[in-house]
Structure 1
């Protein structure tokens, strides 16, 4: 793996998440009945940062939960015969709520589809919107993000690496060449 460039540093990520937070407030005409659900791993801390921004802008605390998509992946058979059943609790009530599903990178859309399935299995939300820090293209399903931090056209021979301080000790988005 060969490092190519840093696409977003800590300050750029902060600005990007502030913009996404404002867009969420604007599109939903406020924050009533809003819930954030981050896709584990990096989607959850990103969702918490968005919730912190909304608290700062609107003075309202938005519930933040997380979804584990392990059981909903379409490649389970290649992962083993007996997948472990993970906790299906999202940590928040999504019934009749406007759910903002949050992830770090939108690539093939299979993760987003699996997360949507997992949420709907728990309860029926009013709506599900998708917020991603990076959209890198190469979609395999007809899913698009409602909120995109940055569109980054990539080749399939590249890796977009999102680092989040809570997990990786730094906030950054870097691109690597896999060749």
Structure 2
């Protein structure tokens, strides 16, 4: 069985560049756009996307972090989860298009928690979802708007996203 690499550093970079262009196209520009990453790697990916979009659109894109810990439905199973700080950019989310950013989409439960967390802080005009890896196996009716790569996997496999900022290496692997 073992581990196999499905994305290398250059693949991640290309996927993020494509997603940045897709976000701008979908939003018809950068106006009223806010990126919120879901800790931990989603925040890093949101920052990278913010830099890419800012470079393409030639304007600063607000980027923040959205902690979902207290909105999760599995807190009783994992009570030791420690919250991360929520950082909402100046101007908040009201009336803006919020793009949630995460590394892997699996069951959809983290995204449901993120939607609840957003509702607790404001009322965006729209919420979109950008995911680096969509591995399937949804338990909730959640679908990403922007996908880096679809990677079909079994429930028993583990998808690992490694980013330089957290892991000192970059790539996506699947462990059987």
| TM-score bin (small chain) | over 0.9
Structure 2 counterpart of 1:156: 155
Distance 1:15 1:88, change over 3 A: closer
5+ residue gaps, structure 2 = none
Structure 1 counterpart of 2:28: 29
Q: CA RMSD in A?
A: 1.7
Aligned 8 A contact 2:65 2:86 in 1: no
CA distance in 1, matches of 2:3, 2:160: 11
Distance 1:107 1:85, change over 3 A: closer
Q: TM-score, normalised by structure 1?
A: 0.92
Structure 2 counterpart of 1:46: 45
Matches within 5 A, 1:95-134: 95-134=94-133
5+ residue gaps, structure 1 = none
Q: Given the alignment of the two structures, is residue 136 of structure 1 paired with residue 140 of structure 2, yes or no?
A: no
Q: TM-score, normalised by structure 2?
A: 0.94
CA distance in 2, matches of 1:68, 1:156: 25
